[in-house]
Amino acid sequence: MNSSDTTSAELALDRPSYLHDGYGWKSWLLTKDHKRIAILYLISITVFFAIGGIFAMLIRLELLTPEGDLVQAATYNRLFTMHGVIMVFLFLVPSIPATLGNFLVPLMIGAKDLAFPRINLISWYIYVLAGIFILWALIHGGVDTGWTFYTPFSTHYSNGYVVSTALGVFIAGFSSILTGLNFVVTIHRMRAPGMTWFRLPLFIWSHYATSLIMILGTPVIAVTLMMVAVERALNLGLFDPRLGGDPILFQHLFWFYSHPAVYIMVLPGMGVISELIAAFTRKRVFGYTVVAFSSMGIAVLGFLVWGHHLFVTGESVYAATVFSLLSMLVAVPSAIKVFNWTATLYEGSVSYETPMLYALGFIGLFTIGGLTGVMIATLGIDLHLHDTYFIIAHFHYVMVGGTIMAYMGGLHYWWPKMTGKLYPVFASRLSALLIFVGFNLTFFPQFILGYLGMPRRYWEYPPEFQVWNVLSTAGASVLGVGYLLPLCYFLYSLFYGKQAGANPWGAKGLEWATTSPPPTFNFDYPVVVDEEAYEYAPDARAVARQEAHSA
């Protein structure tokens, strides 16, 4: 990048954008600008996404044949463990909040930065430290416990680097907690005059709900993994039945965080989708208030369903019944969102830009992910499907088909704002298509495999399952190309992309009211908000009232 890239708007205003406000390593590594920190996160989570993705490809290649022939069993176990640990804790949890959220929360509410800029920078350093711990464990031989660290395997039988990986996850948790804290305070205290709670974009509502889960849930996983580390080092007997401990206790503690963590991963995605649907129909999201409160409902109910991960452990039947019922209830707010997004298209002005293609893909895949979720929340069915590939397919439909589709859609939507550049239209639409097709080809066969009974985490499998595994591996290759393509054209756009201008999509929202890329303190003028969110057309009832008044 050089100074000739600065937009004409900036030249007119005679001040640099955040990208040009200082050069060199120090200006980035010691920055307190939420937008630069978002870019730091973007680069680091992309690195971890690539590592986790390579592991996924190796897993799929191993499963091409029923025999364990590409890698050894011990290696395979390390591959799926590191794939899970890296993708969950170093990619999915921070993905949307730490990049898009960091960039957009202050812009969308009309603030010049987050409430605690230094803490924001520290949270990135903590994240990097966590990544180093986990990479250290990986380079020294990895971990073979699965990302779930189930005891007593993890405490007494695994010979992998359990403690350093657990410490890495422990540390990464503090990064989440600090980000969540920063968002909550910012959303409460830094909204521009006139930006009332019910004028907030739905992206902000979903980040607010996510932040609450981060603050309340993450300490539990920290304590739990500490217990594993201490048990491994000192053999206290917390999870060891020979000393009176209970291995199932670990699962309760683990899922008390890790189920709400699913909502940490998917709620921000839902926020992104609400923004995209509004922008590309040029219409207020149908039932704004209901969508906002459904995020809060998911955040609260999400804490009460962890026991559905324990249906086959020998958990009390009464507990299982209650958890099954609550798991069904938490699906209702998600269903409401899907219907509301679909209804928003009605009488909208629908355009087929790349971000919108991702958003529509999200709705389809998330619907399947959600419906299969209520299937496995049904007690009688879960006895069959628990711990099979059906579960793998289900949560990849939610996490990849949901969260990553939303993340990609969000990146394509706000990329012009973040960089000031437009990316190639055809290539980007092609990537959306490849990812949608590749994703379904990868994971749909896994539903069938799961119903046939193929257990998860199997290095070898009975030969009659091979056909579906071959299809799945073929799909993964398409998906891989789909993810590489955006990397190429986003980098290309930085150097050769056309200038985006302040508002290339003709969208509403404060972030589109400032220049692209924005100045360091976001706005060149004092922000005052005097309209509702997504007010593309005046409210019909308000117009009617006005007409009635003047008549």
In the range 379-418, which residues lie near another protein by CB under 8 A? 379-384, 386-388
Closest CA to 78 of 169, 151, 161, 157: 161
Neighbours of 304 (CB within 10 A): 16
Binding another protein (rule: CB under 8 A), the pick from 274, 324, 354, 520 is 324
**Where does this chain touch another protein (CB under 8 A) — which range of 257-265, 323-331, 394-402, 434-442?**
323-331
Count of CB atoms within 10 A of residue 501's CB?
15
The answer to whether 360 contacts another protein (rule: CB under 8 A) is yes
The residue from 312, 425, 481, 528 that contacts another protein (CB under 8 A) is 312
The DSSP string of 116-185 is -HHHHHHHHHHHHHHHHHHHHHHHTT---STTTT-TTIIIII--S-HHHHHHHHHHHHHHHHHHHHHHHH
Stretch that binds another protein, among 120-128, 167-175, 265-273, 357-365 (CB under 8 A): 357-365
CA distance 326 to 377: 9
What's the closest the beta carbon of residue 507 comes to another protein, in angstroms? 11
Q: C-beta of 215: minimal distance to another protein in Å?
A: 28
Closest CA to 35 of 126, 111, 130, 127: 111
CA distance 309 to 452: 20
Least Cβ distance, residue 357 to another protein (angstroms): 10
Q: Which residues contact 103 (CB under 8 A, 6 or more apart)?
A: 34, 35, 38, 39, 414, 417, 418
Q: Which is nearer to another protein, 186 or 472 (CB)?
A: 472
Q: Does 293 bind another protein (CB under 8 A)?
A: no
Contact positions with another protein (CB under 8 A) in 211-230: none
Q: Would you give the binding string for another protein spanning residues 114-153, x where CB under 8 A is met?
A: ------------------------------x-x---x-xx
In the beta sheet, which residues pair with residue 499? 421
The torsion angle over the Cα atoms of residues 371, 376, 381 and 386, rounded to 10 degrees, is 140
| 414/441 Cα distance (integer angstroms) | 28
Our finding on whether 346 is near another protein (CB under 8 A) is yes
CB of 460 to another protein, least distance (A): 5
Binder of another protein out of 319, 321, 488, 545 (CB under 8 A): 321
For another protein, the closer CB: 139 or 540: 540
| By CB under 8 A, residue 319 contacts another protein | no
Question: Which lies closer to another protein via its Cβ, residue 38 or residue 454?
Answer: 454
- List the interface residues with another protein, window 423-482 (CB under 8 A): 448, 451-453, 455-468
Q: Give the total of residues touching another protein (CB under 8 A).
A: 99
What are the structure tokens assigned to 527, written together? 């922000």
Q: Find the shortest distance in angstroms from Cβ 122 to another protein.
A: 36
Per the CB < 8 A criterion, the answer to whether 396 and 443 are in contact is yes
Rule CB under 8 A: is residue 62 a binding residue for another protein? no
